[in-house]
Amino acid sequence: MKRFLEHASLTTFVQQNSTFNKKSQINTVWHWLLLFLFGLLAYGSIYQKFLLIGLFIGISALVNGPLMILWGAIYSALVAFFPPIGILLSLLFLMINLGSVVKSWRITLTSVYFYLVPLASSLLQKLIKNEHHYLIFLFVFLSILGLHFLLNWLYKHNSISRSLTWRIVCVPYSLLLFLLPKRFHPFKRNKKMRVGQ
């Protein structure tokens, strides 16, 4: 206890007096699963890519869905009892989400790479058609190698392969949730305009 009181802060005390044995993240099943899924996305046809992304959305919805229902019920109850708190909670959640995107810009870039490179692969497959399959294999191989180096870069900045895999797999589900409310918003405006006319 005397040594603890001599240190200026808790973080320096923990850093100096503890050893954290971090397993090499490249040797985990999550790292190789992410590379395998990326390879499937990069090489598959456009229908196979949509099927795999649909599978990602389904898995994410099964895991995140019940928790979202719980938070939605709590949010609705708070807003029902005290309506002005809805604006404050919405602003708070927006700031938290924007903060997490800014803090995890490396993961965001890796997610963009994970989903846009397979799109480029399908464009390459459409341009090449039935000729020169070795070019597609070379593109997929170099893309997987690029993702491997990106993941290694993330591991050097204290990312863990299991949580990173989960965050990348959940991206389509998050985008779907982000885009759905905006899609139905113009219909509500049109009904209000018709009533007012």
DSSP codes of every residue in 56-96 = HHHHHHHHHHHHHHHHHHHHHHHHHH-TTHHHHHHHHHHHH
Tell me which residue of 26, 64, 44 sits closest to 169, measured CA to CA.
64
Residue that is written with structure tokens 């490179």 in the block: 117
Q: What is the pLDDT of residues 13-46, one digit of tens each?
A: 666 665 544 668 778 899 899 999 999 998 888 8
- 88 contact partners, CB below 8 Å, separation of at least 6: none
pLDDT at 124: 79
**Is residue 42 within 8 Å of residue 117, measured between CB atoms?**
yes
pLDDT at 106: 86
Question: What residues does each domain of the chain span?
Answer: 26-175
With 0.75 as the threshold, say if the pTM is over it: no
d(CA 61, CA 51): 15
pLDDT at 20: 46
What percentage of residues in the chain have a pLDDT greater than 70? Answer: 78
Radius of gyration of the chain (CA): 23
pLDDT at 33: 93
d(CA 169, CA 43): 17
d(CA 59, CA 141): 27
Which portions of the chain are predicted below pLDDT 50? Answer: 20-21, 183
Residue that is written with structure tokens 């905006």 in the block: 182
